[in-house]
Homo-oligomer: A and B are copies of this chain.
Amino acid sequence: MKRFLAALAMLTTTAAAQAEEVTTYTLENGMEVVVIEDHRAPVVVHMVWYKIGSADEPVGSSGVAHFFEHLMFKQTDILESGEFSATVAANGGSDNAFTSYDYTAYFQRIAADRLELMMQMESNRMTNLAITADNIATERNVVLEERNQRTENNPSALAREQFNAAQFQNHRYGVPVIGWKHEMEQLNLDDALAFYDLYYSPNNAVLVVAGDVEPDEVRALAETYYGVIPAEPNLPERIRPQEPPQRAERRITYTDPRVGQPYLIRSYLAPERNPGSQEEAAALVYLARLLGGSPFTSDLGVALQFDSQTALYTNASYDGSSLDTTTFSLVVAPAADVTLSAAEAAMDQVIADFMASDIDPERMNTIRTQLHAAEVYALDDTQGLAHRYGAALTQSLTVADVQAWPEVLQSVTAEDVKAVAAKVFNRDQAVTGWVVADPEDAQ
């Protein structure tokens, strides 16, 4: 009863700074709902996001979250194996699913008048999936083949696995989303069912409906299809192991004859967007743009590509969408006659110069304007908005955080960027990886 009252109290309708109308509420069974109105076209995006990703997997069962994403397209008590997607296609829609460290999500884009059919099928497979040992054997081969294609055949992906494993000393972000091959090979029906029973539950899910719909209509349908599913009483609190203080840089040379161009990656632990506290993440968005990206305007680009021609390619990247501590990364591919150690020294000199000088206010203004434009354009992308809310709500953020983000981005100052850079550029929390075809290139 307490939960029911709380759910009603959470019913709010908010309008973001710009166009989107967003309504959120929580069903009595704990399932969160976000409705984003966009009446420009008679289509709807229907997404169910589960607060379960690879970093929540039981130890020893890496890959089970992604594996389960595949199994969700198998038979249920009323659907044949494959019938879900076939039905979406027969109704003129498209569907897919994706798994990350923090979430697993399923979505369809379809004519707005087919929303009920989508909810009927999606709610059915939340609880009535009827997977068999045969499904397991078949689909395990499919995900193993996916790993072969994406990782085993890709030296950069294999190198990234090694660097990630060294970046995280305790957190499961060090384990690949697709899973370690030797653990994927052992995934079985029991693992899958235990995972499904616990995590595919309405109190662990977020429904996002975006498009030509009315919030009341969505609510009635959501209550009919999802509201009748009981909450999972044994759903564990989502507590993950956090990193201890990292005390020494890790250095790795990954050698693989398939590597075309030698390059180096430096990744540092970095803060992520947190509820009510997105300022550091916003400042890191600026830092990535100041250091990397354009060869003509970024610090790495100008110093290593334009001026000295030390590098063929430079980049800096950061994505604050993460439930737990994430990374800030730099990449440099040296020019033909430049060693990796010379390129790394040049990169470190760029960081040192950046820390030693003031940031040009004009550059801050340029980035601020670019980010404002990007946020305005984002509002026109209904599916992208739906993705934003789904990811945010499964990564501990709130609707208010999503709506505050553009303004937080606009408020970043040069001092904020310097402060967060001083915090992040800590070599003790870094992994430096060299990727080469031949051990002789590792110098």
Interface residues of A (CB under 8 A from B): 59-60, 62, 158-159, 161-162, 165-166, 169-170, 172, 174-175, 180-183, 239-242, 244-255, 433
Contact = CB atoms under 8 A, between A and B. Distances in A.
A192 B204 CA distance: 26
B247 A166 contact: no
A239 B60 contact: yes
Contacts of A183: 170, 241-242, 244
A251 B434 CA distance: 11
A149 to B, nearest CB: 17
Nearest to A176: B244
B170 A241 contact: no
12 contacts: A59-B59, A62-B241, A159-B247, A162-B246, A162-B250, A166-B166, A170-B183, A182-B242, A182-B244, A183-B244, A248-B252, A249-B252
Given A62-B170, A165-B169, A181-B244, 19 more contacts: A59-B240, A60-B240, A60-B242, A159-B247, A159-B248, A161-B247, A162-B246, A165-B170, A166-B169, A170-B175, A170-B183, A181-B245, A182-B242, A182-B245, A248-B252, A248-B255, A250-B250, A251-B251, A251-B252
A159 to B, nearest CB: 7
B162 A247 contact: yes
A231 B169 CA distance: 35
B252 A172 contact: no
Contact of A244 (B180, B240, B241, B254): B180
A242 B182 CA distance: 8
B254 A251 contact: no
Nearest to A433: B248
Contact of A250 (B159, B180, B181, B251): B251
Nearest to A246: B162
Nearest to A239: B60
Nearest to A180: B244
A183 B159 CA distance: 30
Contacts of A242: 60, 182-183
Contacts of A252: 248-251
Given A169-B165, A170-B165, A158 B240 contact: no
Contacts of A60: 239-242
B170 A180 contact: yes
A180 B168 CA distance: 13
A237 B161 CA distance: 28
A249 B166 CA distance: 10
Contacts of A249: 252-253
A248 B182 contact: no
A248 to B, nearest CB: 4
A37 to B, nearest CB: 40
Contact of A248 (B172, B240, B246, B254): B254
A158 B59 contact: no
A102 to B, nearest CB: 15
B159 A169 contact: no
Contacts of A253: 248-249, 251
A254 B250 CA distance: 9
Nearest to A55: B59
A59 B172 contact: yes
A181 to B, nearest CB: 6
Contacts of A165: 169-170
Contact of A166 (B172, B240, B250, B254): B250
